Amino acid sequence: MTAPHAHPSPGHHPSTGPSGPGPSSASARETTEGTVYTVTGGDWDEVVAAAAKADDERIIVNMGPQHPSTHGVLRLILEIDGETVTEARCGIGYLHTGIEKNLEFRNWTQGTTFVTRMDYLTPFYNEAAYCLGVEKLLGIEDQVPDRASVIRVLLMELNRLSSHLVAIATGGMELGATTIMIYGFRDRELILDIFELITGLRMNHAYIRPGGLAQDLPPGTVDQIRAFLKTMRKNLVEYDKLATGNPIFKARLQDVGYLDLAGCMALGVTGPILRATGLPHDLRKFDPYCGYETYDFEVPTADTCDAYGRFLIRLEEMRQSLRIVEQCLERLEPGPVMVADKKIAWPAQLALGPDGLGNSLDHIKNIMGTSMEALIHHFKLVTEGFRVPPGQAYVAVESPKGELGAHVVSDGGTRPYRVHFRDPSFTNLQAVAAMCEGGQVADVIVAVASIDPVMGGVDR
pLDDT beyond 70 at 359: no
pLDDT in tens, 223-263: 999 999 999 999 999 988 888 888 888 889 888 889 999 99
Strand 75-81 to 84-91 pairing:
antiparallel
β-pairing, 402-410 vs 212-213, is unpaired
Residue 51 has pLDDT above 60, yes or no: no
Lowest mean pLDDT among 180-194, 347-361, 442-456: 347-361
Beta-carbon contacts of 204 under 8 Å, excluding residues fewer than 6 positions away, are 113, 116, 117, 120, 123
Residue 321 has pLDDT above 80, yes or no: yes
Burial class (CB in 10 A: 0-12, 13-18, 19+), 287: middle
pLDDT at residue 324 greater than cutoff 80: yes
Length of the chain: 460
Whether the pLDDT of residue 322 is over 80: the answer is: yes
pLDDT at 229: 94
Ranges of each domain in the chain: 1-56, 100-346+385-459
pLDDT at 309: 92
- Output the pLDDT for position 459: 87
How many Cβ atoms sit within 10 Å of the Cβ of residue 63? 21
Cβ atoms < 10 Å from Cβ of 327: 17
**Cis amide leading into 65 (omega within 30):** yes
At 81, is the pLDDT very low, low, confident or very high (cuts 50, 70, 90)? confident
Residues with Cβ within 8 Å of residue 263, at least 6 apart in sequence: 269, 431, 434
Edge-first strand order for the sheet with 418-422 is: 391-399, 402-410, 418-422
| pLDDT (0 to 100) of residue 1 | 45
pLDDT in the model for residue 355: 54
Beta bridge partners of 238: none
Structural element, H or E, at residue 38? strand 34-40
Q: Angle, to 10 degrees, between the axis of helix 221-239 and the axis of helix 178-199?
A: 170
Contact between residue 205 and residue 123 where contact means Cβ atoms under 8 Å apart? yes
Residue 133: pLDDT above 90?
Answer: yes
**pTM metric for this prediction:** 0.83
Mean pLDDT over 402-431 rounds to 93
H helical segments located in 142-296: 146-175, 178-199, 221-239, 247-253, 261-267, 272-275, 283-286
Give the residue from 208, 50, 49 showing the smallest Cα distance to 129.
208
Q: Both ends of the chain: CA-CA distance in Å? A: 37
In this structure, are residues 58 and 66 in contact, taking their beta carbons and an 8 Å threshold? Answer: no
Across the range 292-306, mean pLDDT stands at 92
Poorest-pLDDT segment among 28-37, 50-59, 330-339, 436-445: 50-59
Least confident of 17-26, 286-295, 360-369, 407-416: 17-26
The domain 100-346+385-459 belongs to what CATH superfamily? Cytochrome-c3 Hydrogenase, chain B (1.10.645.10)
Mean pLDDT (the chain, rounded): 84
pLDDT category at 59 given cuts 50, 70, 90 is confident
DSSP 8-state assignment for residue 334? S
Residue 94, pLDDT > 60, answer: yes
